[in-house]
Chains A and B, each alone.
Chain A
Amino acid sequence: AQSVTQPDIHITVSEGASLELRCNYSYGATPYLFWYVQSPGQGLQLLLKYFSGDTLVQGIKGFEAEFKRSQSSFNLRKPSVHWSDAAEYFCAVGFASGGSYIPTFGRGTSLIVHP
């Protein structure tokens, strides 16, 4: 069965510092990979997604992620964090089913930004 691991429950960074959130997956076929952000009291917002092609994916809000098949990873990065980036971040892998896809989410990483 597919699974997604986000090893870091919390990450604290200073504003302006770089950020990398880790995500590892287990899936037998070519994965469809996603990163979502959830601010307090809000639903999820898609940051970026990977289906095929270039393994470096650009997303919204200055985020990017790199798919590394050999490491089964899809880490999220941002060169300079802003205080407004403080939120919960979820990695997800989608597997095909019934003409669509079913997502499996990681447990999330809470990002704390210090001024």
Chain B
Amino acid sequence: KAGVTQTPRYLIKTRGQQVTLSCSPISGHRSVSWYQQTPGQGLQFLFEYFSETQRNKGNFPGRFSGRQFSNSRSEMNVSTLELGDSALYLCASSSSSGFSTDTQYFGPGTRLTVL
């Protein structure tokens, strides 16, 4: 069974631009969560989607948004990029709820650099 895939793996943008990252969960998984990892703030939860509905959201500004499609694939969007948005963005999927007894499986991440 294929793992969680994230595209693109690397991305370079400039301040003020917007970016869309994609995540394809493991087949059959319905929950997708997104995380931001930076040297300064560590690993932080962004949001979780389950059956096309956002179930939880972390403490991030409205510039960060996401959605989930009927096939469980998810996208996250960051508008008006700032230098501080440079990070590794991780996606994780699980078969049902985001962080319960079901194990979350992480993708390799998308490395975003904002210049």
Give me the interface of A with B, judged by CB distance under 8 Å: 32, 41-46, 49, 51, 90, 92, 94, 97-108
Contacts and interface: CB of A to CB of B under 8 A. Distances in A.
A100 B42 contact: no
**Interface residues of A: mostly helix, strand, loop or mixed?**
strand
B31 interface: yes
B104 A46 contact: yes
A44 B103 CA distance: 11
Contacts of B43: 44, 90, 92, 105, 108
B74 to A, nearest CB: 15
Given A44-B106, A100-B50, A102-B98, 20 more contacts: A42-B108, A43-B4, A43-B90, A43-B92, A43-B106, A44-B90, A51-B101, A90-B43, A98-B56, A99-B55, A100-B31, A100-B55, A100-B97, A100-B98, A100-B99, A101-B100, A102-B45, A102-B56, A105-B43, A105-B44
Interface string B72-108: 0000000000000000001010000111110111111
B109 interface: yes
